[in-house]
Amino acid sequence: MKVSEKYYDEVFNFKGQWDMPSSCGLKIINRQYRKYVIVTELYQDNPGTSVTYAGRSLAEQICEAKGLHPDEIVYLECNPGTNSKLSFYDEAYFEVRFNDAPQAVYRQLSVAEVKDLFDKN
């Protein structure tokens, strides 16, 4: 399953679990008061950890590499559409909030929210 480059502006290499070399698609959308950091799963083009399992570590690595502060970003995970018959390969975007708890909190964005995010880009 090859992921279309329409989902990302660059491939971001990161250290995954156990420092495994990993990669994801990365798009950063700037708004007046926030930056939207969108990481995209690359499926077979990622040799290591998925964006979901990398979680907080991936967000921190992106902030460090791009000179961002974690409090100024909205971190989104994209599971891109791959034209598969399997529903779990349908396009979906999730806002991920990292708090003091060990588990992140996920909220799926509505179609309207995704449209609004990209229409203003």
pTM of the model: 0.89
Could you list the residue range(s) of the whole structural domain that residue 65 is in? 5-119
Q: How many distinct structural domains can be found in the chain? A: 1
pLDDT at 26: 97
* Residue 101, pLDDT above cutoff 80: no
Q: Give buried/exposed letters for 94-113 (b at 16+ CB in 10 A, else e).
A: bebeeeeeeebeeeebeeee
Q: Is 62 exposed, middle or buried (0-12, 13-18, 19+ CB in 10 A)?
A: buried
pLDDT at 78: 94
pLDDT at 43: 87
What confidence category does residue 84 fall into, taking pLDDT thresholds of 50, 70 and 90?
low
